[in-house]
Amino acid sequence: MDPNRRRQIDALYHAALERAPEIRTAFLDGACRGDPELRSEVESLLARGSVLEATATVSPADTAAGAQIGAYRIVSQLGAGGMGEVYRAHDTKLGRDVAIKTLPREFARDPERLARFRREARVLASLNHPNIGAIYGLEESGGSTYLVLELVDGETLRGPMPVAKALDCARQIAEALEAAHQKGIVHRDLKPANVKITGPASGYPGRVKVLDFGLAKALWGTEKNQYLSQAATVTGLETVVGRVMGTPRYMSPEQARGQEVDKRTDIWAFGCVLFELLAGKQAFSGGTQAEAMAAILEREPDFETLPAATPARIRELLRRCLQKDAARRLPDIAEARAEIEKSAARGTKRWPLVAAACALLGLALGAAWWVRGLSTVGRSGGAPLRHVTFTQLTDQPGPETYPSLAPDGKSFVYASRASGNWDIYSQRVGGKNPVNLTKDSPVDDTQPVLSPNGEQIAFRSERDGGGIFVMGATGENVKRITDFGYNPAWSPDGNEIVCATAEFVHPETRDSSASQLFSVNVTLGEKRAITPAGEFAMQPNWSPHAHRIAYWSIHGAQWDIWTIARGGGKPVPVTNGKNILDPGAEHSVA
């Protein structure tokens, strides 16, 4: 049988199978009009109840747990879809886990298609980018063909997300598409289900990985099939998901019409994905796939559903990506990436100003308190602060420092010497019963800071030689993550902690000639330097989008606030201060 005819029968069979038995006859009346032979073939398959024998990838014995495919030992099945089944396997030669995707047996019966697939796979394997799931190779066993892929453990992309996080994910997707398009590779089936965000076990949590790059073309080619357009109209085309056409709710208008596609199809899908990340709903939806495809061809997305915080630049980018006429669409994904970076940069520029203002206010208040303490007793103070209300939260004897408020604003932690040595206390806002979380520790525990989800506390402890430790929000499961460090600060995603190697006491003094910043992976304990050795960097904190880290530094007698990229690089000054011992010193934002 002609391969195109085989795929047509298979497509309509699966479309019919999706429908309740009582409406299949009406469906086939429309889908097979004028082609009684086609209808007979589809009804024959429906009568047999399965077409799996015709499209099976491998026999169950080949992929049972423990089965061996070349150097790969099958561990478990991960999923199945229109492009084959996927298994977790262990590479016995390199000692790593991989994903094995099985390919349909019809490949073995079609030498031309198999040869084309091998050619396409070689091109796809040339993609080497941190945001693209890698192809490791091809294996053949028992008359079946297998694709060996990078195993990406993580969460599937889904919205809604906070605007900053959505834009960060979109930027990484755009970078992946840009790298592929530069090599002439079009994804053709970009959708949230084909994007994952790596977890802590990966060693690089929060990284976006785009999967199944170009596999639709590699598997099914680019042949035009006129029956696809008919099926799109009649069936909604659940039938060829993952094949030539892509996934209905994310396919471009030219895909929906069965026309040739280029990189602008990926730009359309990118717009659909970004819209969904921001709005939490699909840009084009409907009760059925046919209704969704009608929306793609005829209607505009509801841009009013985007969050109010969506920057105007991003709204315009979405409109350009989702132009139905490919000739008027954003021509290059690099432009999308640039627009997202510009939008993020504007937020970055605003953040240091706010951070600097807050930090300067805190330092100014501290400096004013210190200078006042040195001044003559009885000297009158300045005018009181206006429009500010202070509420006392604690009343234990002795000093209480390093308060950290929980994300929900209902509780806080702090350090106190009420019991003799420094301990960490937890207390409800408005409550009067602080709980000592480190009462079993005979040494000082201080500098607590709650994690972004409020479930953990990072702190400095002198136990076992000193370092940064993490414990649960109620004092349980204490563990060391470094044997050095002061003033820990959580990254916004809670995966990393940045700290300084020297301790802050007073702005006018320093206990060390140098203080370096390090970031530590909370799960793995992996450490990396942020600032160069020999520099003096203190009290770090993260920007809201986690791209930069702020800290203060003293050069000579001048102190200033700086920021540096999370991966290191050249620090950028935010303030230009005068002599720290001069209480009348003025500061300006650099």
Structure tokens, 322: 């989702």
Structure tokens, 503: 């301790």
CB 211 within 8 A of CB 152: yes
Count the neighbouring beta carbons within 10 Å of the beta carbon of residue 239: 27
CB 289 within 8 A of CB 238: yes
Distance CA 208, CA 132 (A): 8
Strand pairing partners for 401? 415
Which member of 10, 62, 168, 189 is catalytic?
Answer: 189
The DSSP annotation for 16-55 comes to: HHTS-HHHHHHHHHHHTTT-HHHHHHHHHHHHHT--HHHH
For residue 479, give the nearest of 433, 520, 535 by alpha carbon: 520
Structure tokens, 557: 């007698």
Cis peptide before 160 (omega within 30 of 0): yes
Asked if 110 is an active-site residue, the reply is: no
Q: CB under 8 Å, gap of 24 or more: what pairs does 69-72 form?
A: 69/100, 69/139, 69/141, 69/146, 70/139, 70/141, 70/146, 72/98, 72/100, 72/139, 72/146, 72/148
Task: Give strand ranges (E) for 258-390.
Answer: none
Distance CA 424, CA 515 (A): 25
Side-chain half-sphere exposure of 244, counting CA atoms within 13 A: 25
Task: Give strand ranges (E) for 501-590.
Answer: 517-521, 527-529, 538-542, 548-555, 558-565, 572-573, 575-576, 588-589
Residue 340 has what DSSP assignment? H
Structure tokens, 35: 């082609």
Structure tokens, 65: 């747990």
Q: CB-based contacts of 548: which residues, under 8 Å, 6+ apart?
A: 348, 351, 352, 542, 563, 564, 565, 566
Distance CA 480, CA 472 (A): 12
Q: Which residues are catalytic?
A: 189
